[in-house]
Structure 1
Amino acid sequence: MAEQLRPIEAPFVAAAPCGVAVRNRLKGLTAQDETVLRLVGAHLGALASKDLAVRCRDGLAHDADRWAERKRELTTASSARWAGTIIKASHDQWALARRCQLAHIQSLEAGIATITRRLSVPVGQKATKDAPAGYRSRTEWFAKSRRLRVLQDRLAAARADWQAGRVHIVRGGKRLAGNRHHLEAAQLDETGWRERWEAARWFLRADGESGKRYGNETIRVTPDGEVSLKLPAPLAHLANASHGRYVLSARVRFAHRRVEWADRVQANRAVAYRIHLDADRGRWYLTASWQLPPTPAIPLPAALAHGVIAMDTNADHLAAWQLDVHGNPIGRPRRFGYDLSGTAEHRDAQVRHALSRLLAWAKACGVTAIAIENLDFAAEKTREKHGRRKWFRHLISGMPTGKLRARITAMAAAAGIAIIAVDPAYTSKWGAQHWQAPLTRTNNKNQTTTRHDAAAVAIGRRAQGHAIRRRTAPPPHDRKDRAGHRTVQAGPDVSGGEGPRPRIPGPRTGCVPPGCGENAGDQCAQHRSGHAAEHEQLMLSP
């Protein structure tokens, strides 16, 4: 029987980003400027912590009246605009914690289901299509049975919190809070940790308002780069300008999207700002963000009008290949490597550099679409799913699928290139089966096609609507006028074109060894015993 394949989703054009953020360093700050920023950040951070605690205590019982009451309490200690921003940030953080809580519950349920299935199988039994593999030993079976009880207790507690609307949030970050008890492992001293902890809990951000001067009344940035902020009521005595404002000595000049930002500021359109301190470097930064108008997605045929560049994501590189409109590879594959070791900033810079080179190559080729796999390893790296294969869990955990997807969508939209997401099912397997050997040059060892390169071709063909399989079955031989060339190119409308290929008899013996092709497609469509009609005809022909 033919192998049961899971349904394959149709490719689609990824939506463009709905917002943009640019950052610039605040250079030339005086000691008085830093003192004011620290005092304002600490004061508003304390208010934000108290308001977040109130929001968490309210849980599911929060309503509009409670929102107004919280805003009135915060306004007396800051201002109406600061209070509105703090309340909105607390509500967003509570909502994010709820989504993470639901994802944690789903992960626990998946782990419990996996362990339960494997515990029901005899110890040492190998996996089949209908049943998972059993555990290797009685010791492992006993350890997993104990872990099952632990996960069930965690699931019960998580479900109780979910139903009660109870969340657990640490302002400043749970990891940074835990580092306080492991300073040596975190390579920090108490003073350094304290500085990072306080900086993470400061609150120095303000939402924009369309129609107000320069798009923001709380933190204002003029077109020539002057930065000023409205001081809270208890700190109004620190103002150095009229109306309780403090003007910083530093000037801002955005290098990226400067024209877009200047157009919004001069038109008094909303721009949100955030000021934060990088405690590791001792530098202050200003981040400006605004929403982009929704743009309709480009139709898939229009995006593929000039071919496509297909990309296969791997742990240390991006494997890309250009395909023409017929799904044929052009030239040689390209690789864009990156190093994901080190800090988060270093990893992000490596991903951005690799994507910049990929987009530059796409523009040089005249291609307006890049096909990528719609990967999401959120549920694929659990210890219950992969068991002892820690190296594999570390491998897929290190692949920056989420960050790469967000980065390439934003960068490609700025470059005028469409991103086509395809189903990742069987792309590596079928790419290696149908394309790796034909695209390998045997006379040049330096031009060997890897499995990742072949997977890129499979991704590109799926995005174009072509079958990944290179050839279809031969035409029928019931009539002479219907028989053509033995193998023909597979078209996009050929049913079963992405199925496994049948085993072709060898040229010398004219037969297939016993057991070969058992997992191929249904070779006995004519209900004959033995081999399929195609193979029998080849064996009987003189």
Structure 2
Amino acid sequence: MGVLRELAASFVVPGPSGVAVRDRLRVSESDAAVLAEVGVFLGSLAVGDLAERSRQGLEHDAASWAVRKRALTGKSSARWAGSITKATHDQWALARRGQVTHLEWLRAQIAAVEARLTRPLGAKANKREGLARGYASHGEWHAKSRRLQTLKARLAVVEADWSAGRVHVVRGGKRLANTRHHVEAAGLSEQQWRERWQAERMFLAADGESGKRFGNETLRITDTGQFSIKLPAPLAHLANAPHGRYVLDATVAFKHRGQEWLDRITANWAVAYRIHHDTARGRWYVTASWQRATAPVLPLEAALARGVVGVDMNDDHLAAWRLDGHGNPVGEPQRFFYDLTGTAEHRDAQLRHALTRLLHYTQRCGAVAIAIEDLDFTVGTSREKHGRNKRFRRLLSRFPTAKLRARLVSMAAEQDVAIVAVDPAYTSRWGAQHWQKPLTPPTRKISRHDAASIAVGRRALGYPIRRRTAPPPHHQSDGAGHRTVQARPDTRWREETRRHLPGPRTGCAPPGGGSKAGDQCAQHRSGHAAGHGFWQQDSLPLIL
């Protein structure tokens, strides 16, 4: 038996620190034309500023930033220049973080391939000694040796870019840029692709500023829903309001979190806005976002005081089961299904619907905590880890662990439900081994996922998953020691042998519940009046 790895401690996931809501802008044709012209103009400035920042690399400092902002101010305005340079810095920092992740992935792939190349063909893995398995054939070994050289060449290029501070960013998206060469396969015409490309490269976003009127001077939405834009200097001739502003005919009314947004702009607190054009639907949208005060994290003991709902996340459903404070499953198992096929909007709606039902079930149970596994499949989708099991690797690739967890945390925070993350090690295996069969009656089918939800909940509560921690004795006596079962440290006689209860051992009466349970003389002993002595039938006479 291999050595079990050390389990990480469970913790309460902190709630979200920001809020974003979206509403549709029902703009007129003139409003759409003005928005498109302003967005394309500011987008061209953002492209140039990003290119300049990328050329500076690691030599960037406050002085160079001031030079860039001063140049943008002359072409637009001071507020738009600040928004563009901040967006450029965020994009450059995101690209640098992506480089670090890519470097780690390349190094891990190179190490895995090298470890398998050094092993004999067909050799099995040995986890105890840390040995990887060998490749199956000479052809696969040769192909992997060539791939190793390719990975090393890529690593050298990325390391050189990292050392020089170079980043490769495609404003508008690399995927959309590559679609230009395959528009027919994507089901688009050249004109449709051009419109989508132009919409993605627009820049119509501005951060808010506390103390300013309605929390944002560049993109302003009043308490009555009036939306106005501060036009850049070269487009000031498009203004239809004083001070170079353009007021849209469309009004804004945020349905979700509308009162919270209204309270912020009434108090002149900062609110950031972003305008987006959906060319497929021909619609314009505005997204409002702001930071909220960080809520104190609920202590783990307080979150688990009323039990927990253990959840096992799967490819097509969430398996949930409520556990009381002692780690015992209560009620019936629950399953919340979703479909991850189709468009991104459809998948997102499926996840939100499943999580909403899970939160409603938690509130009906009276629990205030949900236990989930702290899963991370970022390094588990490679061929070197799962071999030729392409189906399983695709399953891991499309499993939305990060999105599901982030959405669950944000939705649970609004319902005052705590999310407890636990170590996912051995939950499915031990759950099926110790909980699936005992909880499967003749009239109900318990799956491995239902049993895994119990394992997740028990680990969050601090109880062991395995129902018996000692091996069974080789005979019925206590020569091998007492079998430890589920017992709290303060339980009396927990380390002693099981006490004998007098009484009949039949199905009609429980042990210790007979009418003469306390009378030891009545336990079918020889010589007792209530018992039967030795009886033998007399032989029949031969002659009467």
Distance in 2 (alpha carbons) for counterparts of 1:303 and 1:449: 27
Q: How does 1:316-335 map to 2 (within 5 A)?
A: 316-335=316-335
Distance in 2 (alpha carbons) for counterparts of 1:248 and 1:270: 21
Q: How does 1:222-241 map to 2 (within 5 A)?
A: 222-241=222-241
CA contact (8 A) 1:469 1:490 kept: no
Distance in 2 (alpha carbons) for counterparts of 1:459 and 1:351: 20
- Secondary structure of 2:330's counterpart equals strand
Residue 231 of structure 1 and its aligned partner are, at CA, apart by 0.4
Partner residue, 1:55 = 53
CA contact (8 A) 2:431 2:454 kept: yes
- Secondary structure of 2:81's counterpart equals helix
CA contact (8 A) 2:327 2:457 kept: yes
Closer/same/farther in 2, CA of residues 156 and 348 from structure 1, 3 Å limit: same
Partner residue, 1:458 = 455
- Secondary structure of 1:243's counterpart equals coil
Is residue 124 from structure 1 mapped to residue 119 from structure 2 by the alignment? no
CA contact (8 A) 2:312 2:456 kept: yes
Partner residue, 1:67 = 65
Partner residue, 2:249 = 249
Closer/same/farther in 2, CA of residues 474 and 30 from structure 1, 3 Å limit: closer
CA contact (8 A) 1:471 1:490 kept: no
Partner residue, 1:499 = none
- Secondary structure of 1:127's counterpart equals coil
Distance in 2 (alpha carbons) for counterparts of 1:323 and 1:250: 51
Closer/same/farther in 2, CA of residues 439 and 229 from structure 1, 3 Å limit: same
CA contact (8 A) 2:205 2:272 kept: yes
Distance in 1 (alpha carbons) for counterparts of 2:394 and 2:265: 45
Closer/same/farther in 2, CA of residues 232 and 337 from structure 1, 3 Å limit: same
RMSD of aligned alpha carbons: 2.0
Q: Which residue identity does 1:80 align to in structure 2?
A: A
CA contact (8 A) 1:467 1:490 kept: no
Partner residue, 1:26 = 25
Q: Which residue identity does 2:464 align to in structure 1?
A: A
- Secondary structure of 2:181's counterpart equals coil
CA contact (8 A) 1:23 1:285 kept: yes
Distance in 2 (alpha carbons) for counterparts of 1:490 and 1:194: 68
Residue 490 of structure 1 and its aligned partner are, at CA, apart by 5.0
Closer/same/farther in 2, CA of residues 163 and 472 from structure 1, 3 Å limit: same
Partner residue, 2:372 = 372
Partner residue, 1:181 = 181
Distance in 1 (alpha carbons) for counterparts of 2:422 and 2:336: 20
Q: Which residue identity does 2:60 align to in structure 1?
A: H
Residue 185 of structure 1 and its aligned partner are, at CA, apart by 1.6
1:463-512 deviations in Å (ceiling 9; x for gaps): 010011112338999xx999997552155899xxxxxxxxxxxxxxxxxx
Partner residue, 1:469 = 466
Closer/same/farther in 2, CA of residues 126 and 228 from structure 1, 3 Å limit: same
Q: Which residue identity does 2:185 align to in structure 1?
A: A
Correspondent of 1:448 among 438, 445, 450: 445
Partner residue, 1:11 = 10
Residue 284 of structure 1 and its aligned partner are, at CA, apart by 0.4
- Secondary structure of 2:197's counterpart equals helix
CA contact (8 A) 1:467 1:492 kept: no
- Give ranges in structure 2 of 5+ residues lacking alignment: 492-544
Distance in 2 (alpha carbons) for counterparts of 1:77 and 1:491: 72
Residue 389 of structure 1 and its aligned partner are, at CA, apart by 1.2
Q: Which residue identity does 2:446 align to in structure 1?
A: T
Q: Which residue identity does 2:461 align to in structure 1?
A: Q
1:410-442 deviations in Å (ceiling 9; x for gaps): 00001110000111111111111111111111x
Distance in 2 (alpha carbons) for counterparts of 1:243 and 1:87: 23
Residue 33 of structure 1 and its aligned partner are, at CA, apart by 0.2
Q: Which residue identity does 2:303 align to in structure 1?
A: A
Distance in 2 (alpha carbons) for counterparts of 1:364 and 1:249: 45
Distance in 2 (alpha carbons) for counterparts of 1:89 and 1:203: 10
TM-score by length of 1: 0.87
Distance in 2 (alpha carbons) for counterparts of 1:4 and 1:207: 52
1:139-170 deviations in Å (ceiling 9; x for gaps): 00000000000001001111111111111000
1:437-462 deviations in Å (ceiling 9; x for gaps): 11111x22xx2111111111111000
Residue 383 of structure 1 and its aligned partner are, at CA, apart by 2.3
Residue 345 of structure 1 and its aligned partner are, at CA, apart by 1.4
Distance in 1 (alpha carbons) for counterparts of 2:205 and 2:489: 52
CA contact (8 A) 2:75 2:234 kept: yes
- Secondary structure of 2:124's counterpart equals coil
Closer/same/farther in 2, CA of residues 434 and 282 from structure 1, 3 Å limit: same
Distance in 1 (alpha carbons) for counterparts of 2:291 and 2:77: 25
CA contact (8 A) 2:472 2:483 kept: yes
Q: Which residue identity does 1:355 align to in structure 2?
A: L
Correspondent of 2:85 among 84, 87, 90: 87
- Secondary structure of 2:70's counterpart equals helix
CA contact (8 A) 1:475 1:484 kept: no
Distance in 2 (alpha carbons) for counterparts of 1:448 and 1:116: 46
Closer/same/farther in 2, CA of residues 148 and 475 from structure 1, 3 Å limit: closer
CA contact (8 A) 2:468 2:483 kept: no
Residue 186 of structure 1 and its aligned partner are, at CA, apart by 1.0
- Give ranges in structure 1 of 5+ residues lacking alignment: 495-542
Correspondent of 1:489 among 486, 491, 513: 486
Is residue 164 from structure 1 mapped to residue 161 from structure 2 by the alignment? no
- Secondary structure of 1:86's counterpart equals helix
Q: Which residue identity does 1:66 align to in structure 2?
A: S
CA contact (8 A) 1:470 1:490 kept: no
Distance in 1 (alpha carbons) for counterparts of 2:358 and 2:489: 27
Structure with higher Rg: it is 2
CA contact (8 A) 1:474 1:488 kept: no
Distance in 1 (alpha carbons) for counterparts of 2:480 and 2:372: 38
- Secondary structure of 2:5's counterpart equals coil
Distance in 1 (alpha carbons) for counterparts of 2:374 and 2:152: 31
Is residue 115 from structure 1 mapped to residue 113 from structure 2 by the alignment? yes
Partner residue, 2:192 = 192
CA contact (8 A) 1:22 1:289 kept: yes
Closer/same/farther in 2, CA of residues 132 and 476 from structure 1, 3 Å limit: closer
CA contact (8 A) 1:338 1:350 kept: yes
Distance in 1 (alpha carbons) for counterparts of 2:489 and 2:284: 55
TM-score by length of 2: 0.87
Residue 387 of structure 1 and its aligned partner are, at CA, apart by 2.5
Residue 363 of structure 1 and its aligned partner are, at CA, apart by 1.1
Q: Which residue identity does 2:10 align to in structure 1?
A: P
- Secondary structure of 1:105's counterpart equals helix
1:119-147 deviations in Å (ceiling 9; x for gaps): 00011112222221111100000000000
Distance in 2 (alpha carbons) for counterparts of 1:227 and 1:116: 59
377-386 or 100-109, larger mean C-alpha shift: 377-386
Distance in 1 (alpha carbons) for counterparts of 2:435 and 2:181: 53
Residue 380 of structure 1 and its aligned partner are, at CA, apart by 1.0
Distance in 1 (alpha carbons) for counterparts of 2:151 and 2:478: 66
Closer/same/farther in 2, CA of residues 42 and 471 from structure 1, 3 Å limit: same
Residue 332 of structure 1 and its aligned partner are, at CA, apart by 1.3
Q: Which residue identity does 2:36 align to in structure 1?
A: R
Closer/same/farther in 2, CA of residues 91 and 222 from structure 1, 3 Å limit: same
- Secondary structure of 2:88's counterpart equals helix
